[in-house]
Each structure stands twice: as structure tokens, then as C-alpha cells.
Amino acid sequence: MSHKNKPYIIGIAGGSGSGKTFFLKCFLEHFTADEVCLVSQDDYYIPVAHNMTPEENKLYNFDLPRTIDREHFIEDINALVNNQTIYKKEYTFNNPNAVPKTLEIKPAPILIVEGLFILHFEDIAKQLNLKIFLETNEDVALQRRLKRDLEERGYSNEDVLYKWHNHVVPAYKEYLLPYRETCHKIVVNNTQVAEDIIKITDEISAELRHKLFNE
């Protein structure tokens, strides 16, 4: 496939705790850096956390479309579609002490766009050639969110549960779930067994290789 052609754009959408990170890790292992590039919605949060107290951070709803710099997100997707390299500061998950790295993302034949709102943002959704929806039972997703936020991000149990019930679940039901039926593939990810997800990414990547690279 020539780089002069427009890339094949895959949208991967799932709520918090749906296992997007692990799914993407497994999926990306099937391709070289020259074959695939990834743009994550998380890297387009409008920076606000550095001015917040812990209480303000707890109450601030990061699970709304307006918290994303949508214009910049779409500009960068379009730049990659037009074979241009982009540079973007990574998102440091509201940690004011973390120094963000600058990400260099080079265009590739496969462009993956992932995030909670990618199906809600119509100007992104209409560009997607393949839409993958990661679906997880709410109790499983919450346990994953608790584990991640308590261990990796230093939030308290109370903060995680407050955000979950007041921000995360309502946003999922309003901005992602309504688009479930528009997706080409629905991946149910309630498993704790890595091999289950690896097998699914094996199948999808094999289909893509055959379709795009004639292998």
C-alpha cells in the first residue's frame, strides 16, 4: 500500500475500564512502526489540572466532550491523513508534577484513533473505515478503574467512586453507548485472561493484513 494513498482509519472506542490500553498494545504488536500510527484522544485534554486543588480536581468532570481540544484533535488526524508528521505533548493524567514528553507521530498506512468521544465527534466518526467498540460489564470496568487509579495515579477510593458514578458512567451512556450499533466490530472484554484479547487482535490484524497489504 502506497503512503500516497489515504490511510485506512480504525476507530477504537470504549469506556473507562473497557481494556482499551491492553487491546491496543496487543493490536499494535502485529504491525511495525512504519505500518501503523496511533492518535489518542487523551492527549487532547485542555490543560486545567495544574491550577486545581485536589478537591477541585475531584469535582471537575473530565468526561465531557468540551474538555477535549476537539479542533486540535481533528487537525492532527487530518495532517496524518495528508501524510504529515505531527508533534504533540503527551497527556500526564492531571498530574501537575509530571513533565510531558513531546510525541512525534509519523503517518502510516494504518491510522488508529482511540478515545471515548471519537464516535460522538461526527467529523472524526465519518472518516473511520473500521469502528471497533470495546464493551465491558460495569462492575468489571469499575474494578479495573479502581485498580488503575488507586495504584498508578494515587487517587483515593472515595475520589474514584465519586467520579465513576457522577462523571464516568453518565458520559459513557450519553456519548458512547448510543453509537454501539454503528460499529463494525463489538469486542466483549470481561475477561482477565490475556489470551482471549490476544486471540481477537490476532484475527482482526490478520483480516487487515490481507485487506491492506495482500498478505
State how beta strands 130-135 and 110-114 pair. unpaired
CA-closest candidate to residue 201, choices 16, 19, 8: 19
- Give dist(CA 85, CA 127) in Å, integer: 19
**Residue 2 belongs to some domain of the structure:** no
Cell numbers 487482535: residue: 201
CA-closest candidate to residue 104, choices 29, 42, 38: 38
- The stretch 58-66 carries a mean pLDDT of 92
**Residue 120 belongs to some domain of the structure:** yes
* pTM exceeds 0.95, yes or no: no
pLDDT for residue 193: 79
Q: Residue 137 belongs to what domain range?
A: 8-213
Q: Write down the number of H helices and E strands in the chain.
A: 8, 7
Who wins on pLDDT, 56 or 70? 70
Is residue 19 within 8 A of residue 189, CB to CB? The reply is: yes
Task: Tell me the pLDDT band of 169, cut-offs 50, 70 and 90.
Answer: very high
pLDDT for residue 154: 73
Q: The domain spanning residue 164 has which CATH number?
A: 3.40.50.300
Q: Which residues pair with 113 in a beta bridge?
A: 11, 39
Who wins on pLDDT, 157 or 127? 127
Q: Quote the radius of gyration of the chain (alpha carbons, Å).
A: 17
Task: Tell me the pLDDT band of 86, cut-offs 50, 70 and 90.
Answer: very high
Question: In percent, how much of the chain has pLDDT > 70?
Answer: 96
CA-closest candidate to residue 60, choices 159, 148, 143, 147: 159
Question: How many C-beta neighbours within 10 Å does residue 11 have?
Answer: 24
**The amino acid at 67:** T
**Residue 45 belongs to some domain of the structure:** yes
- The stretch 124-128 carries a mean pLDDT of 98
Is residue 133 within 8 A of residue 187, CB to CB? The reply is: yes
- The stretch 19-35 carries a mean pLDDT of 93
Task: Tell me the pLDDT band of 212, cut-offs 50, 70 and 90.
Answer: confident
Task: Tell me the pLDDT band of 92, cut-offs 50, 70 and 90.
Answer: confident
**Residue 206 belongs to some domain of the structure:** yes
**Residue 171 belongs to some domain of the structure:** yes
pLDDT for residue 35: 95
The Cα angle at residue 164 between residues 141 and 159, in degrees rounded to 5: 120
**Residue 1 belongs to some domain of the structure:** no
Tell me what the pLDDT averaged over the chain comes to. Answer: 90
pLDDT for residue 4: 53
CA-closest candidate to residue 27, choices 120, 176, 132, 125: 132
Who wins on pLDDT, 154 or 215? 154
**Residue 204 belongs to some domain of the structure:** yes
What's the total number of domains in the chain?
1
CA-closest candidate to residue 1, choices 111, 107, 130, 108: 108
Instruction: Please classify residue 77 by burial: count the beta carbons closer than 10 Å to its beta carbon, then call 0-12 exposed, 13-18 middle and 19+ buried.
Output: buried
- Per-residue pLDDT for 98 more than 90? no
**Residue 16 belongs to some domain of the structure:** yes
pLDDT for residue 2: 44
